[in-house]
C-alpha cells in the first residue's frame, strides 16, 4: 500500500480543520463552558474581565468585526483563525527545527 | 476552561507562568534536536486542528457546554514536549487575537489546558508501552482515558488556583468543577480517539505515541530514539 505523502496528509487535515472552524463552529453550543458555568453558580463570574491589551482585540470573542450576521462572523473568524494558527505553528516549527544534521555531515 | 483576567490573584497568576514557561522552553530546546523537517507541517496542522475544534462547543448537562482542550491529542501525535509548544501557540493566539482567556492568566491557562495534559498523557504512554501490549486497542484506550484525566486534572488545578487566589473557596469550587468536567472530559476522550483513529487509518507512522512504534511499519520515532 502506498503511503499518503505528508504534504497530502497535511493539506487534508488542514482542510478538515478549516472546514470545521468555518462551517460547524457557527452552530456550536452558545452555552457557557464548564468554568463559566461554575463561576456563575458559585458567584465569581463578575470578577472576570478583559486585560487592557484585549480591549482592541482583532477578532473579539470569535466574531469577525464588521459582519452583522453572527454566524457568518463566527465562521469567518474560524477560517482566518485556523489558517493563522497553522501559519504561526508552521513558522515557529520551521524556526525551531533540527539544523544540526544540515550543518554537520551527520545524517540522522 | 479559559481563565479570564480577574479570576486569579496576581501572585498566583505569576507563579503559574513559571512552570508554563519552563515546559515550553524545554520543548523549544528539545525541538532543536528532535524536530526534523517532516514534523514542521505536522506541528502547524496539529495547532490548527486543536484551535478549530476548540471552537466547537458541545452541550453537556444543564445549559452548559464544553470543548476540546487538546493537550492529550497533541502529546500523542507529536510527543509531550512539542505538544507544549503547540498548546502555547493555540492558547496565546486565543488570548491575544480572540480575547479568550486572560493575559496575566496566560501561564495558568497554558499550564492547565496544555502542559499538564501533554506531559501527563506523554508519561502515561511511556508507562503503558512498558507494561501493556502494543496494539491499537491499548493505544487508543490509554489516549482516551488520558484525555479524560487531563481535563479532570486541569479542572483540579484551576480550582486550586481559584482557591489560592481567594476568589472562591476551594471546597466550593472543586466539586462543581470536577462534576461538570467529568462530562466535558468524555467529549475530550471521544474527539481525541476519533482524531487518532483517523491518523492511524492514513499515516500511523506519523504518530509519535511515545514509542508505540510497532503499531506502524515505521521504525521507532525520533522521540523514542532520543530518549536521553
Residue B157: give its domain's CATH number.
1.10.1760.20
pLDDT in tens, B40-61: 999 999 999 999 999 999 999 8
Range of the domain at B125: 10-225
Cell output for B59:
452541550
Q: What percent of chain B shows pLDDT beyond 70?
A: 91
- Domain for residue B43, yes or no? yes
- Domain for residue B139, yes or no? yes
How far apart, in Å, are the Cα atoms of A5 and each of A2, A12, B222? 9, 11, 19
B222, pLDDT greater than 50: no
For residue A101, the model assigns a pLDDT of 56
Range of the domain at A20: 1-27+59-96
Confidence of residue B62 (pLDDT cuts 50, 70, 90): confident
- Domain for residue B3, yes or no? no
- Domain for residue B151, yes or no? yes
Q: What domain count does chain B have? A: 1
- Domain for residue B2, yes or no? no
Average pLDDT for residues B180-202, to the nearest whole number? 96
Test mutation, B7, B51, B195, chain A, max A CBs within 10 A: B51
Which residues lie below 8 Å from residue B6, measured CB to CB, with a gap of 6+?
A: A47, A48, A49, B102
- Domain for residue A51, yes or no? no
For residue B155, the model assigns a pLDDT of 98
pLDDT (tens place) for every residue of chain A, 108 residues total: 578 899 999 999 999 999 999 999 999 999 999 999 999 999 999 999 999 999 999 999 999 999 999 999 999 999 999 999 999 999 999 999 987 655 444 444
Q: What domain count does chain A have? A: 1
For residue A98, the model assigns a pLDDT of 85
B37, B51, B102 ranked by CB distance to A81: nearest: B51
B41, B52, B66 ranked by CB distance to A17: nearest: B52
pLDDT in tens, B151-186: 999 999 999 999 999 999 999 999 999 999 999 999
**Is B60 in CB contact (< 8 Å) with chain A?**
yes
Contact B57/A50, CB-based, under 8 Å?
no
- Domain for residue A52, yes or no? no
Strand, helix or coil for residue A89: helix
- Calculate helix-pair angle for B170-202, B71-78, nearest 10 degrees: 40
Residues 11-70 of A with CB under 8 A from B: 12-14, 16-18, 20-21, 24-25, 28-35, 37-39, 41-44, 47-51, 53-54, 57-62
- Domain for residue B1, yes or no? no
Contact A32/B63, CB-based, under 8 Å?
yes
For residue B210, the model assigns a pLDDT of 52
**Is A88 in CB contact (< 8 Å) with chain B?**
yes
Amino acid at each position: 500500500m502506498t503511503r499518503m505523502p505528508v504534504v497530502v496528509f497535511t493539506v487534508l487535515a488542514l482542510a478538515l480543520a478549516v472546514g470545521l472552524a468555518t462551517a460547524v463552529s457557527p452552530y456550536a453550543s452558545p452555552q457557557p463552558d464548564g468554568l463559566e458555568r461554575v463561576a456563575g453558580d458559585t458567584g465569581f463570574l463578575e470578577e472576570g474581565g478583559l486585560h487592557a491589551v484585549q480591549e482592541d482585540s482583532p477578532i473579539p470573542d470569535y466574531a469577525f468585526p464588521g459582519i452583522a450576521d453572527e454566524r457568518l462572523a463566527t465562521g469567518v473568524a474560524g477560517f482566518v483563525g485556523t489558517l493563522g494558527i497553522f501559519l504561526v505553528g508552521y513558522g515557529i516549527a520551521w524556526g525551531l527545527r533540527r539544523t544540526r544534521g544540515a550543518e554537520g555531515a551527520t545524517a540522522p | 476552561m479559559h481563565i479570564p483576567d480577574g479570576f486569579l490573584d496576581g501572585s498566583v497568576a505569576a507563579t503559574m507562568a513559571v512552570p508554563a514557561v519552563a515546559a515550553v522552553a524545554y520543548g523549544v530546546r528539545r525541538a532543536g534536536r528532535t524536530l526534523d523537517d517532516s514534523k514542521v507541517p505536522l506541528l502547524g496542522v496539529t495547532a490548527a486542528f486543536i484551535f478549530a475544534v476548540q471552537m466547537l462547543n458541545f452541550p453537556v448537562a444543564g445549559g452548559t457546554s464544553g470543548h476540546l482542550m487538546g493537550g492529550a491529542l497533541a502529546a500523542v501525535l507529536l510527543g509531550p514536549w512539542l505538544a507544549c509548544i503547540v498548546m502555547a501557540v493555540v492558547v496565546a493566539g486565543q488570548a491575544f487575537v480572540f480575547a479568550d482567556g486572560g493575559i496575566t492568566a496566560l501561564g495558568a491557562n497554558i499550564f492547565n489546558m496544555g502542559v499538564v495534559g501533554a506531559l501527563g498523557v506523554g508519561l502515561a504512554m511511556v508507562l503503558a508501552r512498558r507494561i501493556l501490549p502494543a496494539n491499537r486497542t491499548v493505544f487508543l484506550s490509554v489516549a482516551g482515558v488520558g484525555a479524560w484525566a487531563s481535563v479532570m486534572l486541569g479542572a483540579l488545578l484551576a480550582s486550586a488556583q481559584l482557591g489560592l487566589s481567594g476568589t472562591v473557596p476551594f471546597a466550593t469550587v472543586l466539586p462543581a468543577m470536577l462534576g461538570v468536567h467529568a462530562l466535558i472530559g468524555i467529549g475530550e476522550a471521544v474527539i481525541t480517539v476519533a482524531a487518532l483513529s483517523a491518523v492511524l487509518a492514513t499515516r500511523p507512522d506519523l504518530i509519535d505515541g511515545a514509542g508505540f512504534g510497532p503499531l506502524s511499519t515505521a521504525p521507532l520515532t525520533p522521540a523514542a530514539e532520543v530518549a536521553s
